[in-house]
Amino acid sequence: MSPDAYVPILTLAGGIVAGVVFFGGLYFTTLRMGVARHPAALMLASFLARMAVVAIGAWLAGTAGSYTGLLAYVAGLIGVRAVIVATVRRRERVEGV
């Protein structure tokens, strides 16, 4: 396998990690909103931290050498979003939330 083939694989993995951090962090934050002392501050801090992770990952994927890295990064993000949304919907159906 040529070294150029590793770029999409690594950026896809980075997109998956960033997606887990972003969407998993969003889910965790929304669960904690009801018990937080300062829910607005919690949401703002969570948003800034999650966006920093996604932006840094996108910048790294974009500077990896070709557009395929950035496309793989976005595919990883979107894939994780689909999995988390399906998991939360299934959990809500089972628990009747």
Q: Which residue has the higher pLDDT, 2 or 7?
A: 7
pTM: 0.88
Predicted pLDDT at 1: 67
Predicted pLDDT at 90: 92
Each domain of the chain, given as residue ranges in start order, spans 5-95
Which of these, 1, 4, 13, 2, lies nearest to 72 by C-alpha position? 13
Q: How confident is the model at residue 97 (pLDDT cuts 50, 70, 90)?
A: low
Burial class from Cβ neighbours inside 10 Å (0-12, 13-18, 19+) for residue 60 reads middle
Separation of CA 45 from chain center: 16
List pLDDT tens digits, range 11-62: 999 999 999 999 999 999 999 999 999 999 999 999 999 999 999 999 999 8
Predicted pLDDT at 7: 87
The two most distant CA atoms of the chain are separated, in Å, by 53
